[in-house]
Amino acid sequence: MKRVSIFGATGSVGLSTLDLVRRDPEAYGVVALTANSDVGSLAALARETGAQVAVIGQERLYGALKAALAGSGIEAAAGEEALVEAAARGADWTMASIVGCAGLKPTMAALKAGGTVALANKESLVSAGGLMMDAARQSGATLLPVDSEHNAIFQCLAGSSLDDVARIILTASGGPFRTKSRAEMAAMTPAQAVAHPNWSMGAKISVDSATMMNKGLELIEAAYLFPVGLDRIEILVHPQSVIHSMVEYRDRSTLAQLGSPDMRIPIAHALAWPQRIATPCQPLDLARIGRLDFEAPDMERFPALRLARAAAGEGGATPAILNAANEIAVAAFLDGRIGFLDIAMIVEDVLQRYGAPRPGTIDDVLAADAEARAQAGQVMERLTA
């Protein structure tokens, strides 16, 4: 039996993971499930799966969680420290699917504990990629990418040497505003931005897909996971989201991974790796899909792509600053406080006014993250004054 923990169990990726886990109760035992504030869903999932411990991120909700788990024998815990402790307990397999830099400390704790860490939480890797990769090397943890593109690249690499890779081609759907002009984008509402044409996802990553910052974050993520050099990682817009990414080798042979746009496919790959398990996902019907289209990304209409590539090139604390400013701007957009085009503008402004030395520790990363959030707040105040 594989002992699994799911951080961010109530989210889109967390629920997709649980959907696979509950199909085979003989194969998986649940150690820890966590959520930020949804006590009811967390308690129900913990009871259903017989989890050992349930952790709620918001400390003030401890009493509510304890009450919701009364009589179940399931341990209740709350707060940031409790998330880290639950990760440090170790599991054979941990899904890191908290959204945002909030997932950094628990993900680091899981990596330090060893075992296998399935990583969906791209913001943690973007902010602290060097430190996370070091932690995995030191503990011997296996880091498996769950982001569909990175999971595809991992599959296309199939153990080949990175020295043989000529290019990594990161595909992008282009998001809901792929064909929109800047003038049209300016008027887009949160509801329009989260309506992704192919994938059903949490609100934050859906907005990131609309600005294409998601692909920018994924570029940085790829550079840490597959260090072939930034100039060898290209972005290609592919509206159907059927090819999830490609690897071109130096002999000019190119491998692609294809599948329906369903996160349970890459999650199942990471859950069973190095084996395979059956999933309830739709088989790919290429005759019905008929055609696959490709186009170059438009850096003018999607400035987030340019900002992220520059941040990746600079390295150090710059990706953490980019990510933090983006998290603040996306939250403000979802709240209706700023316009769609303001998101990348705020990120660019923060990157121009604030730099931090190369982080040597997670606390350094979190300090740069906090300062970038404060700076983004100030930029926004000026904008909305």
Closest distance to ligand NAD from the beta carbon of 385 (Å): 28
3-state SS, residue 168: strand
Cβ distance to ligand NAD smaller for residue 99 or 380: 99
The closest alpha carbon to 346, from 319, 311, 377, belongs to 377
- 262's contact among Mg ion, ligand NAD, none, with CB below 5 to 8 A by partner kind, is none
* Residue closest to Mg ion, measured at CB: 147
Single out the residue of 326, 321, 330, 323 nearest to residue 368, CA to CA.
Answer: 321
Per-residue tokens: 73? 């024998």
Could you tell me where the DSSP H helices lie in 226-361? 264-272, 286-289, 303-314, 318-334, 342-353
> Residue 125: which residues within 8 A CB-CB, separation 6 or more?
119, 132, 220, 221, 224, 225
246 pairs with which residues across the strands?
169, 256
Considering beta carbons, is residue 148 or 248 the nearer one to ligand NAD?
148
From the list 113-121, 144-152, 176-184, 365-373, the region that binds Mg ion by CB under 5 A is 144-152
How far apart are CB 148 and Mg ion at their closest, in Å? 5
Tokens representing 381? 């105040």
Among 10, 30, 78, 147, binds Mg ion (CB under 5 A): 147
Q: How far is the CB of 319 from ligand NAD (least distance, A)?
A: 14
The piece of 106-114, 149-157, 181-189, 343-351 that touches Mg ion (CB under 5 A) is 149-157
What the block records as the tokens of 139 is: 């503990």
Tokens of 248: 């071109």
Q: How open is the CA angle 155-158-159, to the nearest 5 degrees?
A: 135
Is the backbone peptide bond immediately before 239 cis, with ω within 30 degrees of 0?
no
C-beta separation of 29 from 1 below 8 A: yes
d(C-alpha 288, C-alpha 281), whole Å: 16
Identify which of residues 149 and 348 has a Cβ nearer to Mg ion in the complex: 149
Interatomic CA distance for residues 305 and 145, integer angstroms: 21
Task: Return d(Cα 151, Cα 256) in angstroms, integer.
Answer: 11
- Picked from Mg ion, ligand NAD, none, the partner binding residue 332 (CB below 5 to 8 A depending on kind) is none
Least distance in Å: CB of 92 to ligand NAD? 21
Closest of 125, 132, 95 to residue 8, by C-alpha: 95
Residues of this chain that bind ligand NAD (CB under 6 A) = 8-14, 35-36, 38, 57, 97-100, 102, 120-123, 147, 199, 201-202, 204-205, 263
Which position's Cβ is nearest ligand NAD?
Answer: 11
Q: Tokens for 241?
A: 């989201």
Contact characters 276-295, Mg ion, x per CB under 5 A: --------------------
**CB nearer ligand NAD, residue 192 or residue 198:** 198
The β-bridge relationship of strands 53-56 and 75-78 is parallel
**Smallest distance, Å, CB 156 to ligand NAD?**
17
Name the minimum Å distance from CB 69 to ligand NAD: 17
Neighbour tally for 203: CB within 10 Å = 17
Closest to Mg ion by CB, 147 or 342: 147
Cβ nearer to ligand NAD, comparing 52 with 148: 148
> In angstroms, what is the minimal distance from the CB of 123 to ligand NAD?
5
Measured from the CB of residue 83, what is the shortest distance to ligand NAD in angstroms? 6
**By C-beta, is 94 or 97 nearer to ligand NAD?**
97
The span of 27-35, 141-149, 307-315, 329-337 binding Mg ion (CB under 5 A) equals 141-149
Distance of CA 211 to the CA centre of its chain: 15
Nearer Cβ to ligand NAD (98/168):
98
Residues 6 or more apart in contact with residue 15 via CB below 8 angstroms: 9
Measured from the CB atom, the residue of 97 and 375 that comes closer to ligand NAD is 97
Task: Choose from ligand NAD, Mg ion, none: what does 36 bind? Cβ within 5-8 Å by kind.
Answer: ligand NAD
Q: How far is the CB of 177 from Mg ion (least distance, A)?
A: 17
> Contact residues for Mg ion (CB under 5 A)?
147-149
